[in-house]
Structure 1
Amino acid sequence: MVKDDQDPDIIEVSEEQLERGLALPDSSLPERLYVIPISNKPFFPAQVQPIVVDDEPWASTIERVAKTPHRCLALCYAPEPDDGVLLTDRFERMGCVVRIHNVVRDEGKIQFIAQGIRRTWVHQWLHKSPPLMAGVTYPYPREEDAQEVKAYGIAIIDSIKELVSINPLYTEELRDYLDRFSPNDASPLTDFAAGLTTAEPEDLQEVLDAVPLLKRMEKVLLLLKKELEVARLHLQINRQV
């Protein structure tokens, strides 16, 4: 255990390493993973974001993961329970395996950078109290019509670009990041697009559950269209004021 009076554990990782990790499939992922729930919304492959969890009860989980060679854990969406009871039955079975970087422990909280790698399916709970551990598998989408996938990919890119152009909340960095995607990167592009939206967690979980690529792209395109409708309405209202 890391004591409160010790310096935080910081593991440095460069931006280049994070970006490279997004594109590379990992063929050596473990069959058992520690699991941490997230209550705001599901986490997607192709995302690289900070995650903050309570020191208690998750410190031991992070410490154990940090000692593994793969430094991976599963993030599964679980709504904040009204009764405050942690039950694995309330966790979504489809989650995201992430590699943890830059772990910092301070004032009762632990923050780390989560680098999304791929979908993972919890098929068995091996330990149902923290540190949670599960037996997992990694679903692969079957090959689908390349031209249809490319067409959906172009539609998703166009929708994101329009959303970025009319919503001032999106930064120039995001625009630059978007330029790195292409219709040929359909799976990470689709997951990245889903993570951009303000859709309800349940709708985002449906996207995460969708392993078939075309089915997933259809769902994300609908979410983007809803996002665009709201953004256009806000823009129209602002112009009238």
Structure 2
Amino acid sequence: MNILITGGSTGLGKALVERCAADASHNIIFTYCRHEADAQALADSYMNVKAVQVDFCNEASVNQFVENLEAESIDVLINNAYAGNPQGTHFFKTDPEAFSESFRCNVMPLIKISQACIAGMRKRKFGKIINIITSYVMDVPPTGFSVYTATKAYIRQLSKSMSKELGRFNITSNCILPDYMQTDFGQVEDFQLEQMKNAHPLKELLKPQEVAEVVCQLLNTTQQLNGVEIPINAAQHMF
């Protein structure tokens, strides 16, 4: 299958690329913004992987990427990228512009890229869309994550609309809701990490590779699995 992974150079994105690329029958394209050396090293490690630089906060960059997507015949879209720092300050201290900027840099690119992929999926009567959300949308988010969780909640609702509208075209849209992972994305202080580990049922934090394993299971599952949300948080948050 032809798989597009947004935000694939580091963290969970890198784990997703590596896990999907392990199957030689897949062709993977992943986007990155910064970390050019990391992206190129990852692409050089696999014959079936291609890296494309896209700045989600630059409309021209996104539009150029979208124009070229039709030729790629994407079968699976994994919406993983997030532009910006997930952790900010208290809601009442947050500049309202931060919400509109996050929408511009995260929601609008996702909409454009998803629509471009869906156009081809509808023609071929097959497609899978997997949206990486966060387990924070299931409960009260930590202080300082209002922009991040609001953005992810919007994408979560979009995923529901896509699953409802596209099922008749044999296209699925599902969500993965992972808990906090210790990566360069959303770093916290050492004492906070220790507190989270001690409070965790398994006494260890979720690893990107564990999330990537769950995501890749969706690649081969039946199209009957549509519109679902899969939490990965050791039952710390439940619906």
Tell which structure's C-alpha radius of gyration is larger: 1
Structure showing the higher helix proportion among its residues: 2
Larger strand proportion, structure 1 or 2?
1
The TM-score normalised by the length of structure 1 is: 0.31
